[in-house]
Amino acid sequence: MAFPVTRLRRLRQTEGLRGLVRETRLTPEAFVYPMFICPGQGVRKEVRSMPGVFNLSVDEAVKEAREVYALGIPAVMLFGLPEKKDEAATGAWEENGIVQQAARAMKRDVPGLILMGDVCLCEYMSHGHCGIVRKTPGANTEYEILNDPTLELLARTSVSLAKAGIDIIAPSDMMDGRIGAIRRALDDAGSINTPILSYAAKFASGFYGPFREAADSAPQFGDRRSYQMDGANLREALREIELDIEEGADMVMVKPAMPYLDVIAAARERFDLPLAAYQVSGEYAMIEAAARNGWIERDRVMMESLISIRRAGASIILTYFAKDAAKLLA
């Protein structure tokens, strides 16, 4: 008996059919919009290497938050640019730090918006590294990032952000043991219900360049390869994620996204916690630059890139495209 030829194209004939059988779906509820908060008033300064992305003063950030929430995007991730930097990252943890100011203002004006606070020290340190630095002349390296003393500052920052109204603490520093230290500090401060979204597998990547311009966070010497992950290591990434879960992470993240789709897929297969992925500044900038040169269709490639991240297994996507993608999905 001869069987009829299978014709997969039957279900591709119209947009209605394609939508009906679509396996992977994007919704604005999956997006988190990153925002850069700076001192001043009425400041809306476009980042040169990230067209459409701005450094925003608190008053302008509140306006942006209103727009984000109205588009159905449930959350923002806040990064701070302090008025001054030092070697104790004071701007990260002081009561009136720039992110703390923004959090309080957003909570008053857009109470339903979920506020995530990036917890790292690089934007606040005068040297631009993610931890306390000790110089080691004559050793194999000229400097060392001190892990355990850095944990104290990360924990202090996390407690300060939670008190200011940040709903989700998101450490991105890649120090060993940071999740446990932050969890203990939050619990001791009475913030037992504040979740932690860990940048668990954060790779030392060339895709961060535009972010470092936006956040003014480039290291003044050396690089971050001694604490961020080697991009060649998938199994190590899974160990990092597992350790963070054991220490108390409620959600985990892979960063960057598209160059590490295999890591996202492997993490989704192995762990059952909510999984986020960060489509980072370099990914955004490349698409924008190619589109502005007429080499690609911007919106089509934007959506294709986001679908690829969702298809790999991320249920939460941090992306600078969040607003534009939400408008297309409306």
**Cα 265 versus chain centre, distance:** 18
Catalytic-labelled residue, pool 63, 107, 135, 255: 255
Q: Out of 84, 202, 323, 327, which one is annotated catalytic?
A: 202
Could you give the C-alpha distances from 245 to 57, 139, 147, 172, in angstroms and in order? 35, 34, 19, 15
DSSP 55: E
Residue 323 annotated among the catalytic residues of the structure:
no
255 is catalytic: yes
CB–CB of 325/28 below 8 Å? yes
Distances (CA, A) of 262 to 49, 72, 271: 27, 29, 14
Q: Is residue 109 within a helix (H) or strand (E), and if so which, with residue range? A: helix 98-109
Rounded Cα distance, 204 and 259, in Å: 12
Relative to beta strand 75-80, strand 31-37 is parallel
Residue 11: both structure tokens together: 């279900």
User: Are 41 and 59 in contact, with CB atoms under 8 Å apart?
Assistant: yes
Picking from 89, 194, 205, the residue whose alpha carbon sits closest to that of residue 151 is 89
Give burial (CB, 10 Å; 0-12/13-18/19+) of 165: middle
Residues with a catalytic annotation lie at: 202, 255
